[in-house]
Structure 1
């Protein structure tokens, strides 16, 4: 039987991560019992102590055990804890050496959504891939530059360390783990009973690009603002460099450092974000939207759109445009 430790952190915890994980893993045992098979999971809630934690003033969660009573486990689940991440990590710092020690003893570790900030603080993610909520990507890169953040992914799996994308996409990671431990048949049953879209691997369709301005490089901020205000036009990197009295090489180096995108990538993302907005709300067809955001090459537009969103322009329109969805 596999022992699963779901952490009960301090702070503004996303209760759904705790309850959802607890429910799914225990439900697997029920499904196995229906097939006259032995239970697979022993699921426990583990806190810094066994004291009850109260969340959002109304909801209480009582751990089964404190971390010092758990010297052996097979899987640690780190739920999302919202708020100022430096404070979140400080409040939960006593979990960090325990997580690292259990991993060295053979346990696997999975972070859900922004639980990745706690996992990254252990140092176990250095040099590894990690997913988290797309909205927290810029802050994560700032705090953990040695981690390879793949913000478009819903699931990462590397050397017994797992992470999930944002919000309810944590269910996809739980299903992934259920399949790994209990097999595809049980994972499919879980997906059907809980109505979770199985095998979803990309959170790109949900990402809202709002620029990356949490930096202090004022010339680069001016370049960003110029791009955002003139995305309909053809802007070149040389044009931006000349406007800011910088060499092209210097501009590109500083732009990448400040925004995690090259200048060209930033232009593309601004254009595609504008196209997404039009596809969601207007009656314009794909070609009209393409020209509106400054593209003249249909193939280039469709290729760039799909690379950034994970969907073709038409698929995106059918998914998010109310009238298109109702017509379908």
Structure 2
């Protein structure tokens, strides 16, 4: 029997992560019974207090056990902790030595969505790959530069450490963990029962590129704003560096440091976002959109678009735009 500990943090955490994980994992024994197999999971909510209020006391969770009573577990699931991540980690710091000890004793540890921030606070993610909600990618990189953030991934796995991408993609990780522990057939049964698309591996189609502007380099910020309003034009690094009155090499270095992207990457991402908006809302065909965002090489655009979003332009348009349109 595998013991699963779903954490119930103090403060504001994701009730959906907690209840959803509990419900699906608790059903695994029923799926096993249907196939004439013995039960496998003992699922518990594990907390720091016997009564944990959530969402300004609108909900209250009563954990099955406190961490002191759980001497050994096989899988720890960390839900999203909302609000200021440093404050949330401080509020729940008593979990950290327990999680580390359990991991050292052989337990697997999984974070759901922005639960990755708390997992990173344990030190267990250092040097390892990690997924989290794409919207918080830059904040995560700033707080944990020693973690290999893979913001396009739905799931990462290394050395019994698992993480999931944004929001409801936690369901994909739960199904993945069921497959790891109980087998592919049981994972398929769970995916079908809960109508969860199995084997999704990328959150790229959902990412909205917003540009990193939390830095304090004002000349670079002005260049970013110029790019965002002039992306249809043919922009060059020389033109942008001249505009900012910064030498080219220094300009490229400062731009990369401030935004996390090279200048050309930034221009490409802005063009891709503009194209995505057109694909979602307009009746233009694919080539019209490509030309309108400033690309003349349609093949190059299609390659870059697929790399960034995980979908071809036509697949993206068909996914998000239900209007009748020409190809």
Mapped contact 1:51–1:62 kept (Cα < 8 A): yes
Q: How far does residue 29 in structure 1 lie from its aligned partner after superposition?
A: 0.6
Alignment map for 1:51-62 (pairs within 5 Å): 51-62=51-62
What residue is the counterpart of 1:220 in the other structure? 220
* Counterpart-to-counterpart distance in 1, 2:302 and 2:324: 19
Query: Residues of 2 paired with 1:144 and 1:151: CA distance?
Result: 13
- Alpha-carbon contact 1:317-1:324 (below 8 Å) kept: no
Distance, in Å, in 1 between the alignment partners of 2:259 and 2:92 is 29
Partners of 1:5 and 1:172 in 2: how far apart?
Answer: 18
Q: Counterparts of 2:142 and 2:117 in 1: how far apart (Å)?
A: 11
Runs of at least 5 residues in structure 1 that lack an aligned partner in the other structure:
none
The answer to whether the Cα contact below 8 Å between 1:318 and 1:324 also exists between their aligned partners in 2 is no
Instruction: Please give the residue correspondences for 1:106-255 in structure 2 after superposition, counting only pairs within 5 Å.
Output: 106-255=106-255
For structure 2, the 5+ residue unaligned runs are none
Match of 2:296 in 1: 296
Greater Cα offset, 311-320 or 82-91: 82-91
1:273 aligned residue: 273
Structure 2 counterpart SS, 1:29: helix
1:63-103 Cα offsets, whole Å, 9 max, x none, are 11111221211110000111121221121122112111111
Q: Is the 8 A contact 1:49 1:67 kept in 2?
A: no
Q: Within the alignment, does 1:49 sit opposite 2:44 as a pair?
A: no
Contact kept? 2:5, 2:45, Cα under 8 Å = yes
Moved over 6 A (4+): none
Q: Does 1:27 align with 2:31?
A: no
Alpha-carbon shift at residue 238 of structure 1 (Å): 1.9
The TM-score with structure 2 as length reference comes to 0.97
**Aligned-CA RMSD value:** 1.5
Report the alpha carbon displacement of residue 182 of structure 1 after superposing the two structures with TM: 0.8
Distance 1:75 1:218 in 2: 46
Question: Secondary structure of the residue that 2:45 maps to in structure 1?
Answer: strand
Is the contact between residue 223 and residue 240 of structure 1 (CA under 8 Å) also seen in structure 2?
yes
Deviation of 1:56 (Å): 4.3
For 2:64 and 2:94, how far apart are their aligned partners in 1?
A: 17
The secondary structure found in structure 1 opposite 2:323 is helix
TM-aligned CA deviation for residue 324 of structure 1: 4.7
1:227–1:267 Cα contact (<8 Å) kept: yes
Partner of 2:313: 313
Deviations for 1:88-129, whole angstroms, at most 9, x for unmatched residues?
112112211211111111111000000000000011111111
Give 1:55 shift: 3.3
| Higher mean C-alpha displacement, 279-288 vs 316-325 | 316-325
Return the offset for 1:53.
Answer: 3.0
Measured against aligned partners, the alpha-carbon deviations of 1:120-174 in whole angstroms (never above 9, x if no partner) come to 0011111111000001111101111111110000000011100000010000001
* Residue 66 (structure 1) aligns with: 66
Q: 171-180 vs 83-92, which deviates more?
A: 83-92
Q: Partners of 1:46 and 1:36 in 2: how far apart?
A: 30
Question: In the TM superposition, what is the alpha-carbon distance from 1:231 to its structure 2 partner?
Answer: 0.3
Deviations 1:16-55 (A, max 9, x none): 1001111111111111112221111100111113333333
Paired with 2:82 and 2:195, the residues of 1 have a C-alpha distance of: 26
The alignment of Structure 1 onto Structure 2 pairs a total of residues equal to 327
